[in-house]
Amino acid sequence: MSAETTAGICTDRLAAFARREAGIYARARPKALKALAEGACHFLGGVPMHWMADWPMPHLPLIAKAQGARIEDIDGRNLDDFCLGDTGSMFGHSPAPVAKAIRQQARNGLTYMLPTEAALDAGRLLTDRFGPFRWQIATTATDANRFALRVARAITAKPRVLVFNGCYHGTVDDTFVSLRNGKTVTSPGLLGQVNDLTETAVCAEFNDLASVEAALAKGDVAAILTEPVMTNSCMVLPEAGFHDGLRQLSLKHGALLIIDETHTISSGLGGYTRVHSLRPDIFVVGKCVAGGMPTAVWGLTDETASRFEAANARREPGRTGMGTTLSANPMQFACLVATLSEVMTPDNYAHMEKLAERLSHGLARVIDKHKAPWHVVRVGARVEFICAPGPLKNGTQAGYAHQANFDTILTDLFKAA
C-alpha cells in the first residue's frame, strides 16, 4: 500500500473507499439511473444546469420531495440534507408560512411588473430586519451585486471594483479574478470571456489590509465588494479589526463598501452585518431571504441613495442597465413577508444555532479523537469541517486546503446512505 496521503489519510485507502461508496450509491438508485438514461439526453451535458455536472457522484439523484432538513429521492432514499440547496433553503425546505404564501398568491397572479400591498410590508420588514437601507428587489444575488456595482461606478465615476482572492459573488463578471504571484489575473476556467477583467477589477487578499490599501492607492476603485466571511472554497473568518480597517480604507480612498451577506445570513438575526455592526454603503442578500423563492434584495444607505439619485438625474435618457422583467414580482413580495415575519425569527435562529453548536462540537471531538489534520469553522447556523489544518487566513490558503478528490469521496459517502 502506498505511503502517500491526502488530507492526512492514506490515498490508496481513500481510493478503495471511494470505489465502495460509489457502488453502494449506484445500486441504491436504480429508478434514477433508468430515468436519467431515458430523459437526460434532452439537456446540454445531460443536466438542466451545467453546475450539476460537477457534483462528484456516479450519477445525479432525482428528488421527489423535501421538507425541513430532509430530502427524498425517487428511489425512496430519505436523507438528512446538510447542503439545503447551498443555503437557498437555509431555514428548511418549504417552510410552512412560505408554502402558504405561495398558494395564496398563486391564485392572484404570478407577475405583473407592478407592486402590491405586500411589497410595502416587505420594505418595512427588510428595514426592521437588516437596517435602514433604501431597498430594491432582484431575482438573484448575482443580479443584485451587478446592480450595486453599477450604482457604485455611477456615483463615484471610477471604473474598478476590488474583490478578494477566492471570493464568491455569483456570476458577476468583475469578480472572476484571482491572485497569481501577487498580481490580479482572470480566474482560470472562465468560459467565453472577451474583455480583460483586470481592467475593471483588482484582487486583494482577505484579512490583509496592506494588500487592500495597495489596491486602492491608484484612486480608481469605485467599490470594495466583499462577503463578511469568505465562504466559497473553505470558510475563512475575518481577523479582529479587519472589517473596521476595511471601512476606514474605503472612506479614505473614496470607494463604496458593498457587503454581500448572501452566504453569511446564517450569522444571526440581521446577518453578520447587524450582529457585528458592520457599516456598508450597499447591502446585498439573496438565496434564503424569501425562504427559497428566487429573490434577492439590495439596499442603499440614505447618503448612498442621495448620491445615486443625483447621478440618475444627470444621465442621458435610456436604459439604466438595472432591473429585470421578473424581479419585484408579487410572489417574491409574498414570500419575503412570510419569511421575514414568520421564518427568520429570533426563536428559529436560536434553534438553528443550538443545533449548529452541537454539530460543530461533535465534529471537533471526532477530528481530535483521530488526530486528523482538519478543523471546524462555524458562522452562526452554518458549520463546515475543512480537511486541512486551520484556521485559514485568506483565499490562497483556502485554495490549497480545498482538495477536489477528497471532496468526491466525502460526497459519495454522504449520498450513499
pLDDT digits (tens, 9 = 90+) for 60-95: 999 999 999 999 999 999 999 999 999 999 999 999
- The single-letter DSSP state of residue 174 is G
Is the domain of 73 the same as that of 170?
A: no
Is the domain of 411 the same as that of 308?
A: no
First and final C-alpha spacing in the chain = 28
Q: How many domains does the chain have?
A: 3
User: Is residue 199 included in any domain, yes or no?
Assistant: yes
Check residue 21 and give its pLDDT. 85
Q: Residue holding cell 478578494?
A: 164
Sites in the chain below the pLDDT cut of 70:
1-3, 404-417
Check residue 405 and give its pLDDT. 66
Alpha-carbon span 359 to 362, nearest angstrom:
5
Closest of 216, 228, 211 to residue 161, by C-alpha: 216
Is the domain of 39 the same as that of 62?
A: yes
Q: How many CA atoms lie within 13 A of 195 on its CB side?
A: 9
How many CB atoms lie under 10 A from the CB of residue 74?
15
pLDDT digits (tens, 9 = 90+) for 403-414: 766 666 666 555
Is the domain of 263 the same as that of 376?
A: no
User: Is residue 90 included in any domain, yes or no?
Assistant: no
Check residue 243 and give its pLDDT. 99
User: Is residue 377 included in any domain, yes or no?
Assistant: yes
Check residue 411 and give its pLDDT. 62
User: Is residue 276 included in any domain, yes or no?
Assistant: yes
Is the domain of 9 the same as that of 24?
A: yes
For residue 121 the three cell numbers come to 410590508
Find the radius of gyration of the CA atoms of the chain: 22
Is the domain of 211 the same as that of 256?
A: yes
Threshold 0.85, pTM exceeds: yes
Check residue 88 and give its pLDDT. 94
User: Is residue 137 included in any domain, yes or no?
Assistant: yes
Is the domain of 159 the same as that of 260?
A: yes
Is the domain of 279 the same as that of 211?
A: yes
Work out the burial of residue 330: count CB atoms within 10 Å of its CB; fewer than 13 is exposed, 13-18 middle, 19 or more buried.
buried
Is the domain of 332 the same as that of 355?
A: no
- Write out the residue range of the structural domain in which residue 324 sits: 96-343
Q: What three-state secondary structure class fits 390?
A: coil
Is residue 298 within 8 Å of 139, Cβ to Cβ? no
Check residue 2 and give its pLDDT. 59
Is the domain of 233 the same as that of 119?
A: yes
What is the phi/psi pair of residue 365, to 5°? -65, -45
